[in-house]
A = this chain, B = another copy of it.
Amino acid sequence: MNSEWGTKFRLSVFGESHGAVIGVVVGGLPAGFAPDFDEVRRELLRRAPGRSENSTPRREGDEFEVLSGMLGGAATGAPLLAFCRNADARPGDYESHFPRPGHADYAAWVKYGAFNDCRGGGHFSGRLTAPVVFAGALAKQLLRERHGAGISAIVAEIHGERDPGKFDGAIQSARDAGDSAGGIIECRVRGAPAGWGEPIFHSVESELASLLFSIPAVKGVEFGDGFNFAKKLGGEVSDGLTVDEDGKIAFLANHNGGINGGITNGAEIVFRVVIKPTPTISAPQSTVDLRTNTPVTHSFRGRHDPCIVPRAVVVVEAAAAIALAQYL
């Protein structure tokens, strides 16, 4: 497996859901950068489960120790190790010979054979987004420090509902039905300067999408008007240019989500990702007993969220921050 990403701000993620540890080595931090670790902790709490009745009761305890790369509160320039021992792991909760529909179990079994650690998803687990959030929190601080850039995402839709007042109800309904609900997250980046990205390959969209599609359950990414462009004429979606009061070039609209020709144009970067419903539900599902190669119907147990969309918001922000930190 290749669990490394980035050329300038770099991550190497390790660990398993029900293994001993999870963590990340972050490379490329500038010497002298003094992270606010309280803020990092708050970001991790936004992702943590167990905060409401609507998320998994597992207490993950995302207490990361920083064990290298820092001296006297400042980054030295050397790789930073963030390291977390798993608490509350229950390796026995999963049966590996019944691949869970919609999960990586079957694909991983083909690829890695019986050696794959499928306890709770192992290295594929959504739990591995915790080190990504850790690294993303650092990237966010760097973007803010260097460019005043801010990244914030919100839940835009849950199970077809777009009214935030109805999100809890939609999740509760899914929960009551022993089912799970999907949704959409919208993210905006303010303050990114014009000029980031490359034409053709390595467009800003390519880089952002590469990381966003690394988040488990993300199945679509769109920028600006996204899939709605398919219903539009060019004249309806023209982002005309103008000169603002300060004499700066500005845009009269932002259908393109702040990116033209793969390069940021200085307008707000806007994108949306769709999160599929958690595939583990209480209803019995069709699967195969890998020991006997026979179809079976199986009820999967375990501790799961009826809707991971709210917890994924900070993960989406983290992924965006890491992708954009390549341009610092």
Contact = CB atoms under 8 A, between A and B. Distances in A.
A244 to B, nearest CB: 10
Given A32-B113, A107-B261, A256-B219, A281 B1 contact: no
Nearest to A77: B112
Given A206-B209, A293-B243, A12 B25 contact: yes
Interface string A185-223: 000000000110111111101110111011010111111
- Per DSSP, are chain A's interface residues mostly helix, strand or loop, or mixed? mixed
A205 B274 CA distance: 13
A277 interface: yes
B76 A232 contact: no
A251 to B, nearest CB: 8
B160 A240 contact: no
A47 interface: no
Interface in A1-50: 1-5, 7, 10-16, 19-23, 25, 27-28, 31-32
Assembly stoichiometry (copies): 4
Interface in A69-108: 69, 71, 74-81, 83, 99, 101-108
A83 B157 CA distance: 42
B261 A14 contact: no
A182 B232 contact: yes
Contact of A106 (B12, B182, B194): B194
A264 interface: yes
A325 interface: no
A224 interface: yes
A226 interface: yes
A196 to B, nearest CB: 8
A213 B209 contact: yes
A12 B79 contact: yes
Contacts of A242: 286, 288, 295
A68 interface: yes
Interface string A174-187: 10010111111000
18 contacts: A1-B78, A11-B201, A14-B68, A68-B123, A77-B115, A79-B123, A101-B241, A103-B261, A123-B199, A124-B199, A159-B231, A160-B231, A181-B234, A201-B214, A203-B213, A238-B279, A240-B286, A243-B293
Closest 10 CB pairs of A and B: A104-B261, A240-B286, A220-B222, A180-B234, A78-B123, A234-B277, A107-B263, A31-B112, A205-B213, A209-B209
